[in-house]
Structure 1
């Protein structure tokens, strides 16, 4: 096992390539509740009033993802209260279709798809002191039905997510759980928190998961570079020293790294781009 990522490592922004930019903006603004921070004919940035969380890039010629290709399972937006989760449920019921809702012991979560079929999770964490843990300290994640009416009853009626909302985690569909483990755990430095049937949940600092990977759909092809869906996601570390350590660790294991102005980017075994920068 290589060195672990710093405890304060977190997910930053994610970026999606979409077919219809206006349709996607309307969904993430009116249903998810993100604020439009910047908008042009070809791109938009959404998030909270203080933090960018999502980049949208229009490419009408991008190929749709097919059933055999790896890529995004869902982007997960973490809101800070059950009241905000209840407001999200109200918006979904009023304007969209709810695909699922689960109590994961550590969090309460709502699931839906965006106009391009990208999965979206909106969730609220329970206090970490209430998270069930195994004897080795790792988090035990489960799935039971969510009390939807209880969540709805606590809604604050807000049209937008509050400041403090983050991309709590990203969940990917991979072609190989073993290859994903080698890259994200043994090389990049995440720690395994939970293993389920054909799924792996990893994090930094004991969080329940910053990243999930699964093979539930039996994907067999890498993510197409020019396809719709997840273009990249951002991993933020606390310091330049941490950034350099991760960079050197990747290079030492012959993983290709491309320097960027504020960090670097690399790709996982399925062709998903990971941008690593300083928080």
Structure 2
């Protein structure tokens, strides 16, 4: 199934080095979630703590934070009809890295929801212990991506899972975890209205519309296949996720310089978007109360 092309011109309003940063998730049982994300998926526990907001942990790959977990004891699952998170997508560097995650899940007998070859990537889908949607994927080389003008060609076909596993040098070797270079590749949201999502994420924030379906939209910076996906498959005109439910509490957009952040703020003001500062970061909500943190990417050590 190929995605329909949409009418959009690349505007290049965002710095092409813009990409996604850590995602904050509310979970019902912190110990259970940390065990899943570290032992099964192979993240590292970078930090734990307890404060006014309750128990928390930061997980990542190498020294790069990927997820901030906050415990909400007794948190209920995200309602089927609501806006909010569709899935968090974790990008691993190579096909063999994806194969190692698949093998770890198989050894742990953890259920996998499915696979998808999207032409630009090979992906695996699953839910965490709270039913929070996850995608783990590897990108094909950009030289293999196909374009129709300014629109990237994406679709969904079957993944050759056997070939992915065969790319692992030693399938019987112990799993050593997600490697350095693993990042949050994209965040896929459940929104209430596609034209409204396009106005907010493209016209105001400045992401380029890169592909779409009548019921979904994909936007990016720097001609990536997508940094954000949005759909109305289970959320057309739906209410936000209840405050006592598990799920995403915030996602991060990383820009490379303070000048790029200032340009973003200028567009927020021109678009009448309410925002606030938290130290050097900028905090705002999209039209469906998905919390967004805009921040300058930390300098490499």
Q: Same fold (TM over 0.5)?
A: yes
Q: List aligned pairs for 1:157-168, cutoff 5 A.
A: 157=173, 158-168=175-185
Q: Does the 8 Å CA contact 1:224/1:271 hold for their aligned counterparts?
A: no
Equivalent of 2:215, from 198, 201, 223?
A: 198
Q: Deviations over 1:145-182 (max 9, x none)?
A: 00011111112553301100000000011111111111
The Cα shift of 1:227 comes to 3.1
Any runs of at least 4 consecutive aligned residues in structure 1 with deviations exceeding 4 A, and if so which? none
Secondary structure of the 1:26 match is helix
Q: Does the 8 Å CA contact 1:72/1:229 hold for their aligned counterparts?
A: yes
| Correspondence for 1:30 | 39
The gaps in structure 2 that reach 5 residues or longer are: 1-8
The Cα shift of 1:251 comes to 1.6
The Cα shift of 1:31 comes to 2.1
| Correspondence for 1:223 | 241
Q: List aligned pairs for 1:1-279, cutoff 5 A.
A: 4-41=13-50, 42-95=55-108, 96-134=110-148, 136-156=149-169, 157=173, 158-219=175-236, 220-279=238-297
Secondary structure of the 2:151 match is coil
The Cα shift of 1:72 comes to 0.7
Using the alignment, how far apart are the partners of 1:204 and 1:185 within structure 2? 10
- When normalised by structure 2's length, the TM-score is 0.89
The gaps in structure 1 that reach 5 residues or longer are: none
The Cα shift of 1:111 comes to 0.5
Judge which range, 52-61 or 9-18, deviates more.
52-61
The Cα shift of 1:93 comes to 1.4
Task: Report how many aligned residue pairs link the two structures.
Answer: 278
- When normalised by structure 1's length, the TM-score is 0.95
Using the alignment, how far apart are the partners of 1:256 and 1:226 within structure 2? 24
Q: Does the 8 Å CA contact 1:6/1:204 hold for their aligned counterparts?
A: yes
Using the alignment, how far apart are the partners of 1:85 and 1:246 within structure 2? 34
